[in-house]
């Protein structure tokens, strides 16, 4: 049974930093090295300095510890008034407006503090996690004592009462707004505490859409801190909640790029990447490949057997037993370019799916392979942060 709470937020002072575009960033795990450098140069206060701080590789000779640098930045920004706390606990309605498949769309949800539960029951994953990213996030959380970004979770819904509350809460101008590089319009409001909000979610379960490693990290940190200090603010984590039935968030694929190994030669040859993307279909388990064949760059479409999602069947029927080093990207053009430049032997191009299909897998007790889904768009890191202090 999920339990949610308002929290004291930590927010950038607009008068000190200028626009929110230059101090916020996408989630840390979708940022390329080139984008990382661009966000670092955008502003001395960009949140990337907390969530994905500089390392010795960026500043050779300085021997920077990224976690210590993040803690130093957070402390300095708070002392200087660059980051200020809200006047008491609050909820944070959040909205993203964008175009998808040629039509205007909107996703609206709620940023709040969620009481941590062990996996299962009220909080369920849909992807596997890896040890490395959890260790990285844990070292960061130990250093800064804050949630710099929110975990994204969906629930089956619909909950009309919450939708009406969000409609009213977002009727005025947002407290923070920006347009990101993909043209997504982000808006966030600061709403007073309403005791009814928590009750509307008591009977539902939450599926993690984005942030499996951050949730696993929060559980680890909670257990560490409880052992030392007992109950405290580490018993909760910042989360963005979305009603999947009402909002229908797009779920894009993570394409697979094999850096080595032999490419498959089965499937129907098609003209180009555009034809592949027009043909992939999760219900039909249709996926595409890009690989060189007899010196030519060849695009193919093939079908798997079984039940959706296609990414699970691809791992079972094609990738299982293959000794291949995989990389992942939500960008099909980038995946094709890896092969075109001969930096990879094959790109596996997957279709979009939806939250209902993913939940059906979860309800059967299964999880998807790592990096299977790309819920898009994602809340912007830095619009609000949650310091782990007594509330």
Kindly state whether residue 357 falls inside one of the protein's structural domains: no
Are 230 and 268 found together in one domain? no
Kindly state whether residue 118 falls inside one of the protein's structural domains: yes
Are 214 and 95 found together in one domain? yes
Query: Residue 107 above 70 pLDDT?
Result: yes
The domain total for the chain is: 3
Are 236 and 310 found together in one domain? no
pLDDT of 347-373, one tens digit each? 999 999 999 999 888 888 888 888 888
Least confident range from 63-67, 169-173, 182-186, 276-280: namely 63-67
Kindly state whether residue 129 falls inside one of the protein's structural domains: yes
Q: Are 201 and 160 in contact (CB under 8 A)?
A: no
Query: Residue 101 above 90 pLDDT?
Result: no
Query: Residue 32 above 90 pLDDT?
Result: no
Q: Exposed (0-12), middle (13-18) or buried (19+): which is 33, by Cβ within 10 Å?
A: exposed
Are 318 and 383 found together in one domain? no
Domain interval for residue 20 = 12-84
The pLDDT of residue 318: 94
189-202 mean pLDDT: 94
Are 280 and 245 found together in one domain? no
How many of the other CB atoms lie within 10 Å of CB of 51?
A: 24
Are 72 and 89 found together in one domain? no
Rounded Cα distance, 54 and 69, in Å: 7
The pLDDT of residue 126: 85
Query: Residue 57 above 50 pLDDT?
Result: no
Query: Residue 31 above 50 pLDDT?
Result: yes
Which of 301, 285, 137 lies closest to 220 in space, CA to CA?
137
Given pLDDT bands bounded at 50, 70 and 90, which one contains residue 265? confident
Q: Is the dihedral of CA 113, 115, 120, 122 positive or negative?
A: negative
pLDDT of 295-307, one tens digit each? 999 999 999 999 9
Are 98 and 193 found together in one domain? yes
Are 202 and 310 found together in one domain? no
Q: How far is CA 293 from CA 120, 154, 265, 290, 342, in A?
A: 46, 42, 8, 9, 12
Rounded Cα distance, 211 and 214, in Å: 5
pLDDT of 240-259, one tens digit each? 999 999 999 999 999 999 99
pLDDT of 118-135, one tens digit each? 988 789 888 878 888 899
Kindly state whether residue 270 falls inside one of the protein's structural domains: yes
Query: Residue 60 above 50 pLDDT?
Result: no
Greatest Cα pair distance, the chain, in angstroms, is 66
| Average predicted confidence (pLDDT) for the chain | 93
Of 47, 65, 84, the domain-final residue = 84
371-383 mean pLDDT: 94
Given pLDDT bands bounded at 50, 70 and 90, which one contains residue 390? low
Of 56, 84, 112, the domain-final residue = 84
170 three-class SS: coil
5-21 mean pLDDT: 96
Rounded Cα distance, 93 and 336, in Å: 38
Kindly state whether residue 7 falls inside one of the protein's structural domains: no
User: What are 224's two structure tokens?
Assistant: 């560490």
The CA-based dihedral angle spanning residues 365, 366, 367, 373, taken in that order and rounded to the nearest 10 degrees: -100
Q: Exposed (0-12), middle (13-18) or buried (19+): which is 210, by Cβ within 10 Å?
A: buried
Kindly state whether residue 21 falls inside one of the protein's structural domains: yes
Are 242 and 335 found together in one domain? no
Are 77 and 108 found together in one domain? no
Are 35 and 170 found together in one domain? no
Are 300 and 318 found together in one domain? yes
Q: Are 123 and 188 in contact (CB under 8 A)?
A: no
Kindly state whether residue 162 falls inside one of the protein's structural domains: yes
66-84 mean pLDDT: 96
Kindly state whether residue 91 falls inside one of the protein's structural domains: yes
Of 65, 84, 103, the domain-final residue = 84
């Amino acid at each position: 049974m999920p339990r949610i709470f308002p929290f004291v937020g930590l927010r950038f002072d607009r008068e000190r930093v200028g626009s929110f575009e230059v101090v916020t960033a996408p989630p840390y795990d979708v940022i390329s090295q080139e984008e990382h450098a661009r966000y670092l140069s955008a502003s001395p206060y960009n949140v990337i300095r907390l969530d994905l701080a500089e390392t010795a590789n960026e500043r050779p000779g300085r021997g920077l510890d990224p976690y210590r640098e993040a803690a130093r930045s957070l402390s300095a920004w708070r002392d200087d008034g660059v980051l200020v706390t809200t006047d008491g606990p609050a909820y944070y309605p959040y909205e993203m407006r964008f175009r998808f498949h040629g039509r205007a769309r909107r996703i609206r949800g709620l940023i709040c503090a969620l009481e941590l539960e062990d996996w299962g029951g009220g909080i369920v994953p849909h992807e596997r996690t890896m040890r490395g990213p959890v260790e990285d996030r844990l070292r960061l959380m130990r250093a800064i004592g804050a949630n710099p970004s929110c975990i994204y979770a969906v629930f089956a819904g619909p909950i009309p009462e919450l939708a009406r509350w969000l409609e009213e809460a977002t009727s005025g101008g947002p407290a923070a707004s920006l347009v990101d590089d993909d043209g997504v319009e982000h808006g966030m409001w600061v709403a007073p505490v309403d005791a009814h909000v928590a009750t509307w979610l008591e009977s539902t379960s939450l599926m993690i859409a984005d942030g499996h490693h951050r949730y696993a990290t929060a559980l680890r940190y909670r257990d560490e801190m409880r052992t030392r200090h007992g109950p405290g603010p580490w018993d909760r984590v910042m989360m963005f909640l979305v009603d999947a039935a009402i909002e229908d968030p797009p779920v894009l694929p993570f394409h697979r790029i094999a850096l080595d190994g032999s490419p498959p030669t089965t499937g129907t040859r098609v003209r180009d990447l555009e034809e592949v993307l027009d043909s992939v279909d999760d219900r039909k388990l249709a996926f595409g490949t890009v690989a060189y064949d007899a010196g030519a760059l060849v695009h193919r479409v093939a079908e798997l057997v079984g039940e959706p999602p296609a990414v699970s069947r691809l791992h079972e029927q094609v990738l299982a037993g293959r000794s291949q080093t995989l990389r992942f990207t939500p960008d099909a053009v980038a995946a094709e370019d890896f092969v075109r430049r001969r930096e990879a032997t094959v790109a596996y191009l997957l279709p979009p799916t939806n939250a209902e299909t993913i939940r059906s897998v979860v309800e059967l007790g299964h999880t998807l392979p790592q990096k299977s889904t790309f819920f898009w768009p994602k809340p912007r890191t830095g619009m609000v942060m949650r310091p782990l202090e007594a509330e």
